[in-house]
Amino acid sequence: MPKQQDGPKELSAFDRHNFIWKNDTFTWHQKRADQIRKKYGDKIKQLEGNDPSSIFYFILASASHWVIAVILGQYFSDSYCTIALFGWVLGGFWTTSAGLAMHEAAHQLVFKGRWPSLAAAVIAQMPLFLPAFKTFQFYHLPHHSFCTINPDDFNRTSVQKDKDKKPIYDLDLPTEFEAWLFSSNPLTRVCFLFLQVLLYAFRPMLLSPKPLYLEDLIGFITQSLYIGSAMSYGGWGTFVYLIASTFLGSGLHVSAIHFIAEHYLLTEDTAYTSDKSKVQDTFSYYGPINHVLYNGGYHVEHHDFPRVSWKNLPKVTQIAPEFYYNIPHHNSYLEVMFRFIFNHPGLWQRIKRCDREIKEE
């Protein structure tokens, strides 16, 4: 049983050794959605639904990433370090964008249905070095349904939602060991940013292994063809670019800051407080990088209305600005990154909840 804090006690940035535990039921987004629908119901309803035109953006992104990989492999074949630097600085935008494109497919916001969504995801995930769609979808959808529910409060292997053994807790949450390891000083927090994509990918599989799906095999084949065809023209330099784009570009990179900006408490109002009355579960970002991230910064909007596709998320904000601009939000990912690195409780600054129903069984 995790030790819960006794009350709204203010702690300095480096005195934190526990998460922010809340005893309430997670209904923040549902309550917000109900309020917004009550006031703007017809307008919001018009924004919901899938957007097949997104596939053209996915094709363009994956094709251009392939071309860049080949060109760099051909012209910088004598300097893998230069290629890796390009992968980190430039390719990071493509891989982070690809992850958010895959996110659209996971919610069936491009095409409806299992296999059409897989087709969209196969194209979307090509800039990623590894096929991630089915694994991401398997663990991400419970993140919406069971957001902030701590996976350590009960026997993970004995409590399952359905025959597919989908988790009934939020595996986006860092473990206590991760928080202890990466939160103590700026160097450890920089290490976390470099490793966050690996932790994000492998934490769920270690805590709650998923079955193998046909989608996993199809993804492996298509990714192999994508990487192999690029290498046939650009050689091993192309391989270096593709792998650096994923494992460096999805780490300490301005576009990858969305991983921590979405649910960690990193705004000026919430970054240093442990007062439960002053924190919120999700945060949006309204800066220019949204243009290359399929509006991934509109994260409160996405959790409020997960059936709204990426093109329409800014319209939600425009329709109901009083529900979004009047709560803590981000305007700069660079500000988020520097705040996290240099003066912040780190991974401890995250809300967690216990599932009372499961605890009492």
Average pLDDT, the chain: 90
Give tens-digit pLDDT for 62-115: 999 999 999 999 999 889 999 999 999 999 999 999 999 999 999 999 999 999
**Exposure of 311 in the CB half-sphere (CA atoms within 13 A):** 13
Question: What is the β-pairing status of strands 20-22 and 351-353?
Answer: parallel
Cβ atoms of 287 and 331 within 8 Å: the answer is yes
* Cα-only R_g, the chain: 20
Contact 266, 336 (CB under 8 A): yes
**The amino acid at 298:** Y
Closest to 197 (Cα-Cα) out of 244, 141, 259, 241: 259
pLDDT at 169: 86
Domain boundary assignment for the chain? 50-360
Residue type, 239: F
- Report the SS3 class of residue 263: coil
pLDDT value, residue 297: 98
pLDDT at residue 302 in the model: 98
CA-wise closest residue to 333 among 284, 270, 274: 284
d(CA 90, CA 71): 13
Query: Could you give the C-alpha distances from 273 to 173, 242, 342, 345, in angstroms and in order?
Result: 19, 40, 16, 9
**Contact status, residue 258 vs residue 296, Cβ threshold 8 Å:** yes
The pTM for the full model equals 0.90
Q: Determine the pLDDT at residue 245.
A: 97
**Which residues of the chain, if any, have pLDDT below 70?**
1-16, 153-165, 355-361
